[in-house]
Amino acid sequence: MRGIRTRFGAGLDLTWTPDTVTALIRPTRTVRVELRTSSGTSALDLVAGEDHVLTERTR
């Protein structure tokens, strides 16, 4: 999935395989968001113009 827009002003692309899911986050403004995964919750600091790639194992 490509081109998803978030409520905090970032573009989001999602890709997945049977073993992993990957999110490419392209923020348009600097913001701290709460990142929730199956292993817990943490703060994620996003900086405008800096892409972030997050990968989570699904198995």
| Tens of pLDDT, residues 23-40 | 999 999 999 999 888 789
Question: pLDDT of 44-58, one tens digit each?
Answer: 999 999 999 999 888
CA–CA distance, 14 with 53 (Å, rounded to integer): 10
Q: What distance in Å separates the CA atoms of residue 32 and residue 52, rounded to the nearest whole number? A: 13
Residue span of the structural domain in which 42 resides:
4-57
Considering the entire predicted model, what is its pTM? 0.82
Q: Structural domain tally of the chain?
A: 1
Q: Are 53 and 44 contacting, i.e. CB atoms less than 8 angstroms apart?
A: no
